[in-house]
Amino acid sequence: MSDLLSRLKPLVLCISLFLPVGAWAAAELNNADAVIVLNRMSAAAKQNDFQGLFTHQHGDSTETFRIVHVGSESLEIERRESLDGPRREYYRKGDQVSVYLPSKRAVSLDRRFSSKLFPQHLPENADFVLLNYRLKKGGMERVAGLNAQIYELEPRDIFRFPLRLWMHTDSGLILKSERLGPYAQPVELFVFSALALGKVDRALLNPVNPLRPVVIESNQGAVSEPVEPAWAIGHLPRGFRFMKSIQRTLVGKEMPVVQHLYSDGLVTVSVFLEPAVAEAKEGASHQGAMHMQVRQINGKMVTVLGEVPAETVKAFAFAFQPR
């Protein structure tokens, strides 16, 4: 018997290597509790009055923004301005958005995405998010001098990246948000460096740059089927839903490009469909968590872009077949 055991020992060792190891020791919340936590975070970002400074770190760039938000009145008002880099400003009153951007390109926004900026970047539909992610509760940490509870949205499969959130224990506001990338290392970070909750000075809401209004598309968020006569769409990575299709002209392109937008509740993936371009090569590339896959087939080209793993953009690219 001991002989048999010693024979099996390497095998047991070998199998145990494949057992999942919890690198981030945290308790998983059940579905009902997870919905409550996520809804608390998104409600706090809408309903609170606050002003503060937050830093956005992405790739090699670090930028600081000032944010002033009024949510306690009937109409939500919000102003953001960049404090370094090119001047940018964003002003939102209810559903009306105006911006100041260095480039003169036309900007239009979808109503569903017009208020998705930090710390309000959690979706309204917690159930849809929880189909694709588990919510785990971690330890406590201090952010901007405030006590925060750490949570992690951990993907249920290989098609997405984790997102860590630091929630202010008193107000429920997200104080810090960290997206992890391919090496499970942080690739994008939003973090408050100063935050004052409660009534804000109304003068801080006045724009400092000449703003121009942004066209808001009145798409109410109805999930529809993609209509694409030139392409057959096969199996897409699980958990992604078609959001909308836009025809647009991109800089440096003569032909209009069709852009499909898919979402898993937390991140969006864009699929660009167009005629093949002679100089464009097939391949995969990435920067931080943003992955891209280009595929040319039968005189047509698919370009997929999103803050999702290489596996996901590849699966998207190979799901599109010219008819």
Binding to another protein (CB under 8 A): which residues in 263-322? 268, 270, 272, 277, 279-287, 290, 292, 294, 303, 305-306, 309-311, 314-315, 318
Judge contact between 323 and 237, C-beta under 8 A.
Answer: no
- Nearby residues of 225 by Cβ (< 8 Å), 6 or more positions away: 242
Is residue 78 within 8 A of residue 69, CB to CB? The reply is yes
Q: Residue 251 Cβ, how far from another protein at the closest point, in Å?
A: 4
DSSP-derived 3-state class of residue 251: coil
Q: Does the protein bind another protein through residue 58 (CB under 8 A)? A: yes
CB closer to another protein, 149 vs 268: 268
H-run or E-run covering 299: none
Amino acid at 117: L
Q: Determine contact, residues 102/87, Cβ cutoff 8 Å.
A: yes
- Segment 205-264, which members bind another protein (CB under 8 A)? 214, 223-225, 237-239, 241, 246, 248, 250-253, 257, 259, 261
**Cβ at position 225, least distance to another protein in Å:** 6
Q: Which amino acid is at 42?
A: S
Binding of another protein by 64 (CB under 8 A): no
Give the binding range for another protein (CB under 8 A) out of 41-49, 71-79, 110-118, 199-207: 110-118
Question: Per-residue string for binding with another protein, 33-52, x by CB under 8 A?
Answer: --------------------
Note whether 197 and 185 are within 8 A (CB).
no
**Could you say whether residue 101 binds another protein (CB under 8 A)?**
yes
DSSP-derived letter for residue 209 is S
Residue 138 contacts residue 148 (beta carbons within 8 Å): no
Binding mask 69-98 for another protein (x = CB under 8 A): -----------x-x--xx-x-x--------
